Structure 1
Amino acid sequence: MIEKMKFLSITGPKADIDRMTETYLSKYEIHLENALSELTEVANLSPFLEINPYKEALSTIDSFYEQLEDPSQISPELMDIEKAIKTVRAVQDGFRRLEEEKSRLQSEHAEILDPLKIIRPFKNLNFDVSEILNFKYIHYRFGRIEKQYLQKFEKYIYDNLDTLFIKCGEDEMYVYGVYFVPEHQAHKVHAVYSSMHFERIFIPNEYHGTAAEAFEKLDTRHREIHKALDANKEASRKFLQDNSTKIVSAKAALDACSSSFDIRKLAACTPGDTNTFYILCGWMTEKDALAFQKDIQNDEKIFCLMEDQKAPATQKPPTKLRNPKLFKPFEMYVKMYGLPAYNEMDPTWFVAITYSFIFGAMFGDVGQGLVLFLGGLFLYKTKKMDLAGIISCAGVFSVFFGFMYGSFFGFEDVLKAIWLKPMNQMMDVPLVGRLNAVFVIAIGFGMFIILICMVFNIINSIRRGDTEKTWFDSNAVA
């Protein structure tokens, strides 16, 4: 069924809004409306213009909260807002140092990666690289050449050129090396190497010692950076773990304060003789509204006016479903298609009964139904899964129809059918002939459900005062 709603207008001194929210309003569910939009006939209203001072701190602590391994398992401690903000600053400062170290290491890693990649194929060159890079009268080029072209080059051309090619390393396709040529022959030899698809690799002037020594130095530093990054990652993880309770507690405190402060966006202000007053408007269930009024009856700073759904509110009352525990999981299906309007019928109970009944009729089996019931019940109790609750309820009907059909884990001869055997039961239908009984019953039940849904549509149309839809809609009286 749909809860009956009450429209509340709450007012008090502007400076008292936080106390009212934290002391009273936070204990109840309320659907707030924009007071300026609701109270259009009230003069001298202005918006409650203040910037939320907790937003930045909340955003910061949220970023740390999301990095925790399993924050939902950590129970927050009671923490006031001043301590929460100090906690955010302390955690931010501690983590910033680790992030700065990480950034420095990543920057150095990026700088070292290219030189390491360039020198790696030439690490077997046993000569001082910096001296090669400073040759004046001998030209050189580092690079790579495909193996097939190198074989042709060595067989047909190499011995006829004034050049020296030193192999340094190779992979599946290429041979890496460096060739030397006298200055006066350089132009000709460069052209020959180019014709053999020699790809030049430019070596920056920043290596010291032999290629092996340069590579070893860079590779050692590369490994050191990786170890430092791993250590930094572990330090960050440990820092967050050590401060996890503080982070969760600070987030809870800031969440509460920020939510309370955000209520001001929907509040309006009106000037009084001595004070400025806030006005909040919203919907509560009748039960909560009465409890709220009782809660504040002795508080002289708060005044609350309660009206029913016929009050001159510009917004329609929100819909809140209230169903027995047995039917509550089936609200999932209703919400999938959209909640009914406030003055319409709640179809949850109808969905629950018909869904379970049809499931049981289709899959009537004592053994399998019992498995569905117990498995669904276990998941619903432990994981709070609505779908598991639905499966459990459907399992009960499956067991019931299993006895009706005499079926146990697919065996039709273990139990005696109380009602009928679906495959064998036949019945005579006037003007049609002999048909399967379950087939006929299914058609009749389908007709019954369609008629009931048409009746629901008529009832909803009457409640909305829509005469045309009540009588002449495709699912109406006509």
Structure 2
Amino acid sequence: MGSLFRSEEVCLAQLFLQSASAYSCISELGERGLLEFRDLNPKVSPFQRRFVGEVRRCEEMEKTFTFLQQELRAAGRLPAPCPESPRAPAAREALRVQEQSEQLAQELREVSRSRSSLRDRLRDLRQHLHVLREGQRFTSLPAPLGSPPRPRALSEREPILDPSLHHHLDRLEMTFEAVVFVAGVIHPWRVTAFERLLWRACRGYLVASFVEMPEPMEDPATGESITWVIFLISYWGEQIGQKIRKISNCFHCQVYGYPESEASRTEAITRLHGQIQELSVTLEETEKYLAEVLDKVAQVLPTWRVQVQKMKAIYLVLNQCSFDVTKKCLIAEVWCPVRDLTQVQDALRQGSYQSGSSVECFVQRVPTTESPPTLIRTNKFTAGFQSIVDAYGVASYQEVNPAPYAIITFPFIFAIMFGDVGHGLLMFLFALWMVLYEDSPRLRQGTNEIWLTFFEGRYLILLMGAFSIYTGFIYNECFSKATAIFPSAWSVATMANHSSWSSAYLATHPSLTLDPNVTGVFQGPYPFGIDPIWSLATNHLNFLNSFKMKMSVVLGIVHMGFGVMLGVFNHVHFQQRHRLVLEFLPEMIFLLALFGYLVFLIFYKWIKFSAADSRVAPSILIHFIDMFLFTSNAENLPLYPGQVPVQMVLVVLALASVPVLLLGTPLYQWCRQRAPRTVRPRAVGERGAHLAHAQLSEVLWSMVMRNGFVGLSYVGGVVLVPVFAAFAVLTVAILLVMEGLSAFLHALRLHWVEFQNKFYVGAGYKLCPFAFAPDTWE
């Protein structure tokens, strides 16, 4: 089992790195992920370390990469992840990356600024064109007096001033100065307030008309596409004109020049058409060039960001090193697995060769009294079980690891509480699907945290489902119903012939009793599991309660005893022989004298008493209570001769072991170094948890599926479809998810508190090797 049984041997070592080859050596070590570096400059500020300039340069490049990433996202492009992991760049290569990235960023800024300017200019020209076109309708010659008014555009708002007053302007032009126009566009939300303020401020000395723009355009403030409103205001008087312009500025209106003569307006429209065409061609060319620059960025950015992340990580590690007195050699302290020392030396040799240094770097072990970090190597199968153990606490250095035993005991204890063939099969198939498609990027790269938890524990769920199928066959339960895989060992016909049951007797007695003492009624044990006839019995709960309680007691005591036995390996490994006498021996005496004796009574009663004398069989529970009271019960016969003295001796031994457990180790060491531990019973929890699952399953069957089968006819067959759908949904939601989680948490508590607590301290810390993290660019 290697390191899975106990954490690997880890040593403290020093790396001697030449200044010229330190970067390459750390890069090689980061690619292999072998060492955990210690900070030799804990009192030095991060801003005062030797390589702070290089770290700052990497951060500047990361800022540039962030800008490039934002530009790609704004263009609707996402760079693909780096197909292969490039190595950290050399100093000259890093300068080239920095120069090219800044050049691309500057080019993107200029092109984006130019495109934005062209878009604003094009939008401005189009708005001006629409203003001139719509203004032609308002400033055309008025109709003769008495003629019907011209129809207005459907989108035109009703002006405050009556357009029929246009003929008065002709007379006013003869006596006053000529009429002047103000034209522009305004946001549709501001039109009502703008129109009202014009009327109140100018006292009606104007003619204002409004119409919606034929096409929507982008709002430069929000980037949304809206339909602007064109306005045309005719007025006379310079003071009125100043008021109108001030009000337009307050409402953020875009005002455009509006020629007074129709010939000038026609000429302006023609000129705007030409400018729009030229700008459209220029903008199209700019968009093409911007797309080319973005393509270049999307191609090189994934590689650059991985290289810079590695380079930054290397300089952060170099900042943890110290210089020797000659300032030519860097010294680093590392935690290193002993079995990887040869790989470390090979990595240093490779790094020195890549840098062109003539002097090789080397590693040297250093004696220490510190407790090394814990290293337990796992794979995709054992990682889930190791995570359960680490959630309780990381193993202390070199202590026994519970994970290899939890691979079997955890799914089995879960299955004791969850045992059902149908439910276990659904769980097994779900986990099997995840295992078969575990390499699918769609499953691995999910964003749902609950889903990732299920996926990481797929092998654990697979074993829990397999063990649940096994215990389901033992309980003979499939979706809470018994299955007759083998013929029942109970014969109703033999009992009927022996008791001469008549039709009248059967009609008046809904419940019948099968006596196993009658020859031929009970033909022997069922081949595997519980006989299906018990599911029809009225006393099946009493029978199953007794069976599952005794089974849980036996398995619980064996599990706890195994945990106490594993403590021996820790005592021997750490050369703590006194704990064998002061802890292990009293624990085993306490466990075996009380609960081991209870297991003995269970098996002894099963063996000694048969169906013939079962009515006179004594109660184990009463015997166990009398054992602690140092008394006997005349109505409860002893199981064997001399039972009372034996029980008294066992209780005395158990009580005598308690002060040894509490005071033995502290008195031996003259200080409290380890908290006392006691053994606690836990069997009832397993039995209760499974009974709850069985009862829920039976209630769900009787309240849903049974109602669909009772009135089974042509109509009942149709009704059975939604009934089965409801049964399936409730089975998955309640029995698989909720009850599965309940059984999982209960099995977790039993492992943490009742098993690991007997030998596992869990006061260590993990070895965190320096390795380049995967690309986690946000």
Report the TM-score range of the alignment, normalised by the length of the smaller protein. Answer: 0.5 to 0.7
Question: CA separation of 1:332/1:472 partners in 2, compared to 1, >3 Å: closer, same or farther?
Answer: closer
Q: What does residue range 403-442 of structure 1 map to in structure 2 within 5 Å?
A: 403-405=473-475, 413=483, 415=485, 418-420=528-530, 424=535, 436=545, 440=549
**RMSD between aligned residues:** 5.8
SS for the counterpart of 2:676 is: helix
Matched, 1:100 2:110: yes
Amino acid at match of 1:371: L
Question: CA separation of 1:238/1:412 partners in 2, compared to 1, >3 Å: closer, same or farther?
Answer: farther
420, 430, 448: which is aligned to 1:372? 430
Cα offset, 1:104, TM superposition:
1.9
Residue in 1 that maps onto 2:54: 52
2:538 & 2:321 partners in 1: Cα distance?
68
- Name the TM-score, length of structure 2 as normaliser: 0.43
Question: CA separation of 1:411/1:169 partners in 2, compared to 1, >3 Å: closer, same or farther?
Answer: same
365, 369, 384: which is aligned to 1:306? 365
Amino acid at match of 1:470: A
Cα offset, 1:35, TM superposition:
2.5
Residue in 1 that maps onto 2:376: 321
Matched, 1:30 2:35: yes
Contact kept? 1:128, 1:210, Cα under 8 Å: no
Q: Deviations over 1:154-186 (max 9, x none)?
A: xxxxxxx88645453489x99864453554997
168, 171, 174: which is aligned to 2:211? 168
Cα offset, 1:371, TM superposition:
1.5
Matched, 1:262 2:316: yes
Residue in 2 that maps onto 1:471: 676
1:441 & 1:229 partners in 2: Cα distance?
83
Q: Deviations over 1:419-440 (max 9, x none)?
A: 23799499999xx965536863
Q: Deviations over 1:274-332 (max 9, x none)?
A: x7432110101121135435877999744533246xx145xx53332224663223334
Q: What does residue range 221-300 of structure 1 map to in structure 2 within 5 Å?
A: 231=288, 234-241=291-298, 243-244=299-300, 247-251=301-305, 253-272=307-326, 276-292=328-344
Amino acid at match of 2:429: V
Size of the aligned set, in residue pairs, is 436
Cα offset, 1:82, TM superposition:
3.1
Amino acid at match of 1:105: R
Contact kept? 1:141, 1:179, Cα under 8 Å: yes
Matched, 1:180 2:234: yes
Contact kept? 2:348, 2:360, Cα under 8 Å: no
SS for the counterpart of 1:283 is: strand
SS for the counterpart of 2:364 is: strand
Question: CA separation of 1:344/1:221 partners in 2, compared to 1, >3 Å: closer, same or farther?
Answer: farther
Q: What does residue range 446-465 of structure 1 map to in structure 2 within 5 Å?
A: none
Residue in 2 that maps onto 1:204: 255
Larger-gyration structure (1/2): 2
Residue in 1 that maps onto 2:386: 331
Question: Percent identity between the aligned chains?
Answer: 12
Q: Deviations over 1:355-385 (max 9, x none)?
A: 4224444154364254234213213355575
Residue in 2 that maps onto 1:156: none
1:204 & 1:351 partners in 2: Cα distance?
78
1:232 & 1:449 partners in 2: Cα distance?
75
Question: CA separation of 1:348/1:162 partners in 2, compared to 1, >3 Å: closer, same or farther?
Answer: same
Question: CA separation of 1:434/1:403 partners in 2, compared to 1, >3 Å: closer, same or farther?
Answer: closer
SS for the counterpart of 1:266 is: coil
Amino acid at match of 1:413: T
Q: Larger % of strand: which?
A: 1
Question: CA separation of 1:390/1:259 partners in 2, compared to 1, >3 Å: closer, same or farther?
Answer: same
SS for the counterpart of 2:12 is: strand
Amino acid at match of 2:384: P
2:408 & 2:339 partners in 1: Cα distance?
28
Cα offset, 1:33, TM superposition:
0.5
SS for the counterpart of 1:70 is: coil
Contact kept? 1:364, 1:397, Cα under 8 Å: no
Amino acid at match of 1:168: V
Contact kept? 2:476, 2:531, Cα under 8 Å: yes
Contact kept? 2:385, 2:407, Cα under 8 Å: yes
Contact kept? 2:428, 2:461, Cα under 8 Å: no
Residue in 2 that maps onto 1:157: none
Amino acid at match of 1:436: N
Contact kept? 2:385, 2:403, Cα under 8 Å: yes
Contact kept? 1:36, 1:267, Cα under 8 Å: yes
1:57 & 1:359 partners in 2: Cα distance?
53
Cα offset, 1:30, TM superposition:
0.5
1:20 & 1:174 partners in 2: Cα distance?
64
Structure with greater contact order relative to length (CA < 8 Å, sep ≥ 6): 1
Q: Deviations over 1:43-81 (max 9, x none)?
A: xxx975563276258536854689653224356599765
Cα offset, 1:218, TM superposition:
9.0
2:555 & 2:280 partners in 1: Cα distance?
72
Contact kept? 1:330, 1:386, Cα under 8 Å: no
Contact kept? 2:182, 2:257, Cα under 8 Å: no
1:392 & 1:169 partners in 2: Cα distance?
66
Cα offset, 1:32, TM superposition:
0.5
For structure 2, the 5+ residue unaligned runs are: 73-77, 140-175, 215-226, 353-358, 445-454, 487-526, 577-668, 681-752, 759-778
SS for the counterpart of 1:282 is: strand
For structure 1, the 5+ residue unaligned runs are: 39-45, 130-134, 154-160
Cα offset, 1:453, TM superposition:
11
Question: CA separation of 1:185/1:240 partners in 2, compared to 1, >3 Å: closer, same or farther?
Answer: closer
71, 74, 88: which is aligned to 2:81? 71
Question: CA separation of 1:320/1:445 partners in 2, compared to 1, >3 Å: closer, same or farther?
Answer: farther
Amino acid at match of 2:545: N
Q: Deviations over 1:439-459 (max 9, x none)?
A: 637964896699589969999
2:211 & 2:566 partners in 1: Cα distance?
85
Matched, 1:395 2:465: yes
Contact kept? 1:119, 1:215, Cα under 8 Å: yes
Question: CA separation of 1:163/1:346 partners in 2, compared to 1, >3 Å: closer, same or farther?
Answer: same
SS for the counterpart of 2:135 is: coil
213-222 or 257-266, which deviates more: 213-222
- Name the TM-score, length of structure 1 as normaliser: 0.65
Amino acid at match of 1:3: E
SS for the counterpart of 1:52 is: helix
Cα offset, 1:234, TM superposition:
3.2
Contact kept? 2:482, 2:535, Cα under 8 Å: no
Amino acid at match of 1:440: M
